[in-house]
Amino acid sequence: MRYDEMSREERKQELDALKKEYKRMQGMELNLDMSRGKPCQEQLDLSMGMMDVLSSTSDLTCEDGTDCRNYGQLTGIEEARELLGDMMENNPNDIIIYGNSSLNVMYDTVSRAYTHGIMGNTPWCKLDRVQFLCPVPGYDRHFAITEYFGIGMIPVPMTETGPDMDMVEKLVAEDESIKGIWCVPKYSNPGGISYSDETVRRFARLRPAAKDFRIFWDNAYGMHHLYDDRQDYLIEILAECKRAGNPDMVYKFASTSKITFPGSGIASLATSPNNMEDIRKQLKNQTIGHDKVNQLRHVRFFGNIHGMVEHMRKHADILRPKFEMVENTLDAELGDKGIGSWSKPLGGYFIGFESLPGCAREIVARCKKAGVKMTPAGATWPYGKDPMDTSIRIAPTFPALADLEAAAKLFCLCVKIVSLEKLQQEA
């Protein structure tokens, strides 16, 4: 029964019973972390073979004769560019292989634009105002980068097909201070939304007032499907921009962080030849080259893109039961209560939950008091300020399935309690 259809006395009785159950669960002394989208131990074990593909007797020479033990290959070894090119659906010649983290590459890209400008344009640090568009709810670490540089952030609502493109088109066309937009276009963080064909095409056809406007296309979950027979498809943005006459408008990021070992993967950036040349000019002053031994390790471990696809199926087999269990628990516990809505993604690492207005922070706080740590409410908005206090990110990947079941039930219990208290206050 919907809680808003109950009488005040019925809600009070329900609330009293729920609080007793909450005290019981507090007594279980849970200590679970659902705050970040981290792979679990079983997922990490899938890549242990990487430790064996190279040894002291291995030939560390690439096909073009490059000795991976030495300096050189600023943009990465050719084999790695080919593997990541297949993963990203881009020409290997349009890819730079970096170190272990795509977030690091995004930070460097913003920093380079801030201090030295993009392709000859005025460095952002010399401008009176610089702003980014931020689809919300979105990825907190994206927002942290722009906040760190003092770049203003403009929230743009997410829809079922991606950001509100009417708003995006209007803002970038009218305001030269808007220099970029953060995007997680496939299985988005946190809602699990994938951009529609129309959305991607509208991005490619933007007519920004700023010549140095760039789309920061963080395709972090491009291969992270949960199902073989149900997968979201994403139009390739660089090719679409080229067709639209905007070849230089996109920086596209990816990594193997949630494919092999987070913190020990390889990251990559795909972009136009003009942007590549601009980046190389800066990069040669920053490094002589990134870790080519690790690049070679990845290539030898996977062999080719087909090996990576098979590897990702193993990840899906581990994650799918966790997502389904959480979704089923939400359906069973909250489905008829009218106190929240949630996404049911086909991939990625998160489930997005929307509570009643004014409830998210208290729900997360109650979970923490009972031993389940979640991403802070509000983190999915710029500056950590969710104006309606509704957005909660659920990260089901790290806990063991049995622990996750207890955490999901506790979460639903907290949603019920906080929602009932809110409804009683408003009655």
What's the pLDDT band for 6 if we cut at 50, 70, 90?
very high
List, for residues 48-70, the tens digit of each pLDDT value.
Answer: 999 999 999 999 999 999 999 99
List, for residues 84-118, the tens digit of each pLDDT value.
Answer: 999 999 999 999 999 999 999 999 999 999 999 99
Cβ–Cβ < 8 Å for 399, 36: no
pLDDT at 319: 98
- Single out the residue of 105, 414, 114 nearest to residue 266, CA to CA: 105
List, for residues 314-346, the tens digit of each pLDDT value.
Answer: 999 999 999 999 999 999 999 999 999 999 999
pTM as predicted: 0.96
Token pair, residue 378, equals 């509000």
pLDDT at 396: 96
Q: What is the mean pLDDT of residues 141-151?
A: 98
Cβ–Cβ < 8 Å for 34, 397: no
Q: Domain extents for the chain? A: 3-44+309-426, 62-303
Q: What is the mean pLDDT of residues 283-291?
A: 95
CATH of domain 62-303: 3.40.640.10
What's the pLDDT band for 409 if we cut at 50, 70, 90?
very high
DSSP 47-70: TGGGGTS--TTS--B-TTS-BTTS
Are β-strands 267-270 and 95-97 bridged in parallel, bridged antiparallel, or unpaired?
A: antiparallel
Q: Answer whether residue 427 shows pLDDT above 90.
A: no
Q: Which fold has domain 3-44+309-426?
A: Aspartate Aminotransferase, domain 1 (3.90.1150)
pLDDT at 231: 97
Q: Answer whether residue 168 shows pLDDT above 90.
A: yes
* Residue 121 to residues 125, 166, 277, Cα–Cα distance (Å): 11, 27, 15
- Single out the residue of 147, 222, 141, 55 nearest to residue 393, CA to CA: 141
Mean pLDDT of the chain: 97
Question: What ranges make up the beta strands (E) of 271-360?
Answer: 340-342, 351-355
List, for residues 368-387, the tens digit of each pLDDT value.
Answer: 999 999 999 999 999 999 99
Q: What type of residue sits at position 361? A: R
What's the pLDDT band for 220 if we cut at 50, 70, 90?
very high
What's the pLDDT band for 1 if we cut at 50, 70, 90?
confident
Question: Order of strands across the sheet with 131-136?
Answer: 95-97, 267-270, 250-255, 214-218, 178-183, 131-136, 152-159, 162-163
Whether 3-44+309-426 and 62-303 share one fold: the answer is: no
Query: Could you give the percent of the chain with pLDDT greater than 90?
Result: 97
What's the pLDDT band for 347 if we cut at 50, 70, 90?
very high
Are β-strands 214-218 and 250-255 bridged in parallel, bridged antiparallel, or unpaired?
A: parallel
Q: Answer whether residue 180 shows pLDDT above 90.
A: yes
